[in-house]
């Protein structure tokens, strides 16, 4: 989970710098935009990571609780054609 926060922060930092500099903001305003973007992106990555982990746990639980598939294999004889 910490790695997702770190990745989100780095991505947000890059996006914040890119957008702030492209709009021509001064460095103090750019710094605050970068901090805000990094914070929001880290929060979004944390939320996504928790949702992803929860869905993986649910799928594993469903797989464990599912009845075993014991259908017999149907063996068809090979027919040679003249």
User: Is residue 28 over pLDDT 70?
Assistant: yes
pLDDT of residue 66: 78
Instruction: Average the pLDDT over 9-19 and give the result.
Output: 89
Q: What is the pLDDT of residue 82?
A: 64
Q: Is the pLDDT of residue 63 over 70?
A: yes
Identify the residue with better confidence: 51 or 1: 51
Report how far residue 9's alpha carbon sits from residue 1's, in angstroms, rounded to the nearest whole number.
13
Averaged pLDDT score across all residues of the chain:
85
Is pLDDT at 69 greater than 80 in this prediction?
Answer: no
Residue with tokens 């710094």: 31
Q: Taking the model in full, what pTM does it have?
A: 0.66
């Amino acid at each position: 989970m910490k790695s997702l926060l770190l990745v989100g922060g780095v991505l947000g930092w890059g996006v914040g710098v890119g957008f702030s500099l492209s709009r021509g903001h001064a460095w103090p305003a750019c710094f605050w935009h970068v901090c805000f973007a990094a914070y929001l992106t880290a929060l979004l990555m944390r939320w996504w990571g928790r949702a992803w982990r929860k869905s993986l746990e649910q799928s594993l639980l469903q797989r464990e609780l599912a009845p075993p598939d014991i259908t017999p294999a149907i063996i068809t004889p090979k027919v040679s054609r003249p």
